[in-house]
Amino acid sequence: MTTTVGREPMTIGDPIRVAKTVAAQVLSAHAATVDREAVFPAESVAAIHEAGLLGAAVARRYGGAELSLNEQVGVAKELGRGCSASAMVWAMHQVQIACIARHHGDGTELAATLTRYVTDGTLVASITSEVGVGGSLRTSTAAVEFDGDRAALRKKAPTVSYGAHAGAYLVTARRRADADAGDQVAVLADASSSELVPTGPGWNPMGMRGTCSPAFTFNAVVPASHVLPAGFDTIAAATMVPHSHILWAAVWIGVAADAFKRAQTAVRKRGTTDVRLADAARSLTQLEALLADSVRRYAPIWDDPAALDTLGGPGLTMQFNDLKVLVSRGSVDVVELALEICGMAGYAEAGPLSVARHLRDLYSARLMIGNERLIATNTQLALLKRG
């Protein structure tokens, strides 16, 4: 099916090089202000879209750039080097549009809507977490209520990244009012049919300040056809969990790699050697290797979601969970070493050797789907994993 509307999909010669240029010229120029003022990185997201990278993860028939998983990982790392918050906005958006592209079934209207979003550079935000169930991805309290050809939804969302800047939301909820907490669907809600009422104290966190992720009460009434036909269990297993853990890990490695580069500069300036630089390099190499192996294992499922039936299982789920847990911790370890190497120049909030923002941003990694929840899941799965 070709449903491309508006301008033709962009052909990007070398997407990783393009991302590197955009990160160096635009993202890094705005990163300090975005962080200090906790504002949405509008210029950076516009530059990413202008470069043709905002639709990176979806096929050309939806107006996307159809990048391979390895290319997406390369782009995520480069963007992460420039500005963690912008890179994370990019990564979260990729996961949402990939879920729609890969699980809309024969929904021609959903496909046309996705194409419009990708072509226009409309951001799609994620509303999976919920007050009362915290970050338990596979549990919802909110439920979809059908009325003829309309579906209504109300959800108390504790954290919605770029919620006020998105043009659409992919929201999880129970399939019906009488469905179990784990019997979930994903609903695509256009901003024009949604209402976000701010709740809580507003957004003033330690790091990832540019993601602008405060709490909202979310209300929407959408066409019933905007309830994705695949159950959310399938969407989560075949796309949302592996894709998000891979792209988040790539962003975090990119942030850590930028801190490593600053530590390298400090050591070169001193004209000495420093064993801590070798320690940091070794940690980065380990994280890169784990990420590369996770991409290798996910690639056949990325190419064909149905391959999950034969390739999925406890071992694969455990690997994606471990990837997230290990990179969320390991990237912090790298930046802590960079902080020690750079000393007070690293501790300063500004300057070429500062790694303060990197460290503050990366402390969010362990909370984005709390590590303890993933470890609890793996604790159960470890009993089933084949040796």
Ligand X SMILES: Cc1cc2nc3c(=O)[nH]c(=O)nc-3n(C[C@H](O)[C@H](O)[C@H](O)COP(=O)(O)OP(=O)(O)OC[C@H]3O[C@@H](n4cnc5c(N)ncnc54)[C@H](O)[C@@H]3O)c2cc1C
Does 38 participate in binding ligand X (rule CB under 6 A)?
Answer: no
Which is nearest to 110 in space by CA: 165, 66, 170, 161?
170
Q: Compute the distance between CA of residue 193 and CA of residue 222 in angstroms, rounded to an integer.
A: 6
Q: Is 239 within 8 Å of 339 (Cβ atoms)?
A: no
Using the minimum distance from each CB to ligand X, give the nearer residue, 10 or 88.
88
Task: Write out the binding residues for ligand X, residues 213-252 only, by CB under 6 A.
Answer: 213
Other CB atoms within 10 A of residue 164 CB: 15
Q: Is 167 in the site for ligand X (CB under 6 A)?
A: no
By CB under 6 A, which span of 111-119, 235-243, 249-257, 362-370 interacts with ligand X? 362-370
97 binds ligand X (CB under 6 A): no
Residue 4, phi-psi category: left (phi > 0), alpha (psi -120 to 50), beta (remainder) = beta
Closest CB to ligand X among residues 164, 281: 164
> In the β-sheet with 124-127, what is the strand arrangement from edge to edge?
124-127, 168-174, 184-190
Residue 155: strand pairing partners: 218
Q: How many residues bind ligand X (CB under 6 A)?
A: 21
Nearer to ligand X, 127 or 173 (CB): 127
Burial 301-325 (b: 16+ CB within 10 A, else e): bbeebeebeeeeebebbbbbbbbbb
Site string for ligand X, 109-148 (x = CB under 6 A): ----------------xxxxx----xx-------------
Tokens 């995520």, located at residue: 76
Binding piece for ligand X, criterion CB under 6 A, among 24-32, 110-118, 343-351, 369-377: 369-377
For ligand X, which residue has the nearest CB?
134
Smallest gap from Cβ 276 to ligand X, in A, equals 28
Shortest Cβ 173–ligand X spacing (Å): 12
Backbone φ, ψ for residue 155 (5° rounding): -145, 135
Among 72, 96, 113, 211, binds ligand X (CB under 6 A): 211
Residues that bind ligand X (CB under 6 A): 92, 125-129, 134-135, 158-161, 208, 211, 213, 364, 367-370, 372
